Amino acid sequence: MPRQGRPHARTPAAWRRSDVLTASLASNLLALALPLVTLQVYDRIIPNASFPTLAVLVSALVVVALGDALLSHARAAILAHRGAHYEYHSGMQAMDAVLHADLAAFDSDARGAWLERFQAIEGLRDFHHGGSALLVVELPFVFLFLALIWQFAGTLVLVPLVMIAVFLLFSYIAGRALRRAIGTKADHHERRLNFIIECLRGIHTVKALALEAQMQRRYERLQRSSAVAVHEFVWVNALIQGLATTFSQAVMVAFVAIGSLNVIEGSLTIGALAAGTMLAGRVLQPALRALAFWTQREGMADREQKLRELLNLPPEAADGRHDPGRLQGRIDLEGVSFRYPGAATPLLSGIDLTVEAGSSVSISGPNGAGKSTLLNLIMGFVVPDEGRILLDGADIAQLDRARVRPQIALIPQEGVLFTGDMLENMTLGRSGNALDDAMRLCSELGLDATLRSLPSGLDTTINGDVAHSMAQGFAQRLVTVRALIGTPSIVLFDDANTGLDDDNDRRLRDLLVALSRRHTLIVISHRPSLQRICQQHYELRDGHLLPQTGPQSGPRQDPSRLRLLRNLAAPA
């Protein structure tokens, strides 16, 4: 059941945790040990040759270094744990959003876009639980370091202050260029990913039509534009990082150069210069981390938007509370109209249909007329814009989907095979009589002989390579078995015999005939052999459902040929 009021993934403030705060504060305080010891060594210990004091200070530095390493490790472990926790819960929320999404909204975007949105979770985890998360904790220590430099070196504190101001101005200007580069790179990457997914999914069609050269040229254009965008991003990012390193070195050089003049003049001690130089380097580290934060933040804004789009997927219509019990199988469509988002005209307009329990209906029509959409409406996958759908006289919107859908078997034209063995693909982990039902249906569809011929039988593993090389008819029969396991009251057949040979098509037809005696059956097919087993016949055309007389029992005659025969037979 979908969770209502699904929460958004909030920005995880890892630095607010007391353990992270404590470790960060202690680590930054311990970082003051080396400059202070250096000051004492140059100004007091060396002039006075105080070896005992030197030994004590060096021992203290070793303890401080070990403590700092321990605190840094503990802080990293905490952040890693919180990052894994965030990724787990965000991933669960994202998958919940997809599994319970309205299909029309989900299908409105390319598969590559949804993959990008899932990948955004990993980037957000690294951003919010990496070194950038500690920026807020370390910024206050900049003022402490500046105060100590003022205490040791007086007006030399202006050197790091001026350099930081220039550095922040540069970061702001560079960030605008980086934002544009990141947006362009993400756009071209998404286009390329969508093309790869489409090409892999239709690789057999590409080869059958000898389209390799055309597809290669299209991919070459996408790859070229993507490479140019990546080059621009890498160039801007490298420029920023290189200048950041230059600024860091410039602070040290400027501080030492100006400080040396003060030492020569006698207004500054060597120890104060050495300690101040170390502190000046420490002052710029948060600024460099702020630049890294700003650099990553430009990409994170886009990733946060992608995650919001994923979590804000419109859910299916609110689930009803009514338990219909065992469905008898009556279906009523009353004035049903449906339009896909962005479509100019309705796909279905004012559809009225009554299918009595236990009766059978065939529906034909041109490609794209909306036949599969009509079945999706009956399944409750999509919601009509107008009208309503009744099952046993109850509005489907008021029924509990978890109770209704197991009683409706949808046999799609192109079923999906999952990674796993043959038996798992048919039963999908269902218990009870699922195994017995699967074996019975395999026998009726002639799958048992095919499965026995496989080296591993039912244990044959289906992976990406096997799924793509599998005959369409074999895959369709597997999907048919999967759909019919259990005790469905309604069977919806969506032209799922296009890959079957004559013998297997006959077996499927016999199975549907048997099902029609005790189930409500709706058949989407152009084959007269399947249409003849149904009691009512309709054609879906231009959004309307038109009654038909059904196929004739004999072979269909060409009207022009009949006219020619009549003319030849007419007396001269």
DSSP 43: I
Residue ranges of domains in the chain, CATH in brackets: 14-311 (1.20.1560.10), 331-551 (3.40.50.300)
CA distance 21 to 381: 48
Q: What is the mean pLDDT of residues 212-233?
A: 88
pLDDT tens figures, 188-199: 888 888 888 788
Q: State the Cα angle at 344 between 342 and 347, rounded to 5°.
A: 95
Q: Which two three-digit tokens encode residue 456?
A: 């591993």
pLDDT of residue 375: 92
pTM confidence score: 0.64
Q: Are 347 and 160 in contact (CB under 8 A)?
A: no
pLDDT tens figures, 343-362: 888 999 999 999 999 999 99
The separation between CA 224 and the C-alpha centre of its own chain, rounded to angstroms, equals 25
DSSP, collapsed to helix, strand or coil, labels residue 418 as coil
From edge to edge, which strands make up the β-sheet containing 360-364?
408-411, 490-494, 520-524, 360-364, 536-541, 544-548
DSSP 319: P
Residue written as tokens 């599998």? 470
pLDDT of residue 554: 45
Q: Which two three-digit tokens encode residue 283?
A: 């002052």
- pLDDT higher at 243 or 149: 149
CA distance 152 to 279: 10
pLDDT tens figures, 453-511: 887 788 887 775 555 556 778 888 888 998 898 878 999 999 888 878 888 889 999 99
Q: Which two three-digit tokens encode residue 199?
A: 């090409």
Helix (H) or strand (E) holding 536: strand 536-541
Q: Is the pLDDT of residue 292 over 60?
A: yes
Whole-angstrom CA distances from 160 to 7, 164, 168, 279, 481 are: 44, 6, 12, 10, 74
Residue (of 486, 507, 31, 542) closest to 275 by Cα position: 31
Q: What is the mean pLDDT of residues 279-285?
A: 81
Residue partners of 106: CB distance under 8 A and separation at least 6: 98, 114, 313
CA distance 327 to 91: 36
> Quick one: how many helices (H) and strands (E) in the chain?
21, 12
CA distance 489 to 495: 19
CA distance 371 to 378: 11
Q: What is the mean pLDDT of residues 223-238?
A: 87
CA distance 401 to 381: 10
pLDDT of residue 523: 93
pLDDT tens figures, 87-131: 888 888 888 888 877 776 777 776 777 877 888 888 788 777 776
Q: What is the mean pLDDT of residues 204-212?
A: 78
Q: State the Cα angle at 504 between 501 and 510, rounded to 5°.
A: 135
Q: What is the mean pLDDT of residues 240-253?
A: 82
pLDDT tens figures, 407-422: 999 998 877 778 788 8
DSSP 460: -
Residue written as tokens 């200070």? 57
Whole-angstrom CA distances from 524 to 348, 374, 540 are: 16, 10, 10
